[in-house]
Copies of this chain bind each other. A is one copy, B any other.
Amino acid sequence: MNVYRHILIAVDFSPAAERLLRRGLDIATRYEARLSLLHVVEYLPFALDNELIMPAPLEIETQLFNSARARLAKLAELTGAPATAEQLVELGSTKVEILRIAEARGVDLIVIGSHGRHGWARVLGSTANAVMHGASCDVLAVRTSA
C-alpha cells in the first residue's frame, strides 16, 4: 500500500507557486495519491473607525474568493493538474487553514513552499515551519527561494 494516499498542496500565488505545484503533482503521480490544492486568503479585519470609504467587507470577501478561485483554477490548468484534484479556497490564517483541511481530509502529506532563509521569515518563523510543528502528518517543504 502506498505511504502517501492523499496529498495536500498549499499554493500561494507567488512567482514560485508554479514550481511548487509541479513538484507536488510529480510526487502525487509517483504515489498515485489523491490530490487537494488549497489557497488561503488571509483575512484582514477592517478598522471600523477609519475614514476610507471601502466596499462592505462581505463584498470584498466575495471578490477575493472569486479572484483566488480563478487564479487557482488557472494555475492548476497551467501545470496540468488532474481534473480529479480538489481545488479549495479558504479564508483565514494560512497555517490554521492548512492544518484544519489536512485533518478534516485525512491528508498524509502536506506540500508547502519554504521561502528562503533570509529576512523576516527567519526571524518570525515561516508558515512552513508552523505547519510542520502543528501537522500530524508528513510535511514536504519545497525550497522556493535561495
Which residues of A come within 8 Å of B, CB atoms?
3, 23, 26, 30-31, 114, 117, 122, 126, 128-129, 132-143, 146
Contact = CB atoms under 8 A, between A and B. Distances in A.
A49 B132 CA distance: 42
Given A23-B3, A31-B30, A133 B122 contact: yes
Given A26-B3, A30-B30, A143 B133 contact: no
A132 B136 contact: no
Given A31-B30, A133-B129, A140 B143 contact: no
Contact of A132 (B30, B128, B138): B128
Given A3-B23, A139-B141, 7 more contacts: A114-B138, A114-B139, A122-B133, A128-B132, A129-B132, A135-B143, A139-B143
Contacts of A23: 3, 138
Smallest CB-CB A-B distances: 8 pairs: A30-B30, A139-B141, A140-B140, A132-B141, A138-B142, A117-B133, A129-B129, A138-B143
A96 to B, nearest CB: 14
Nearest to A114: B132
A122 B137 CA distance: 16
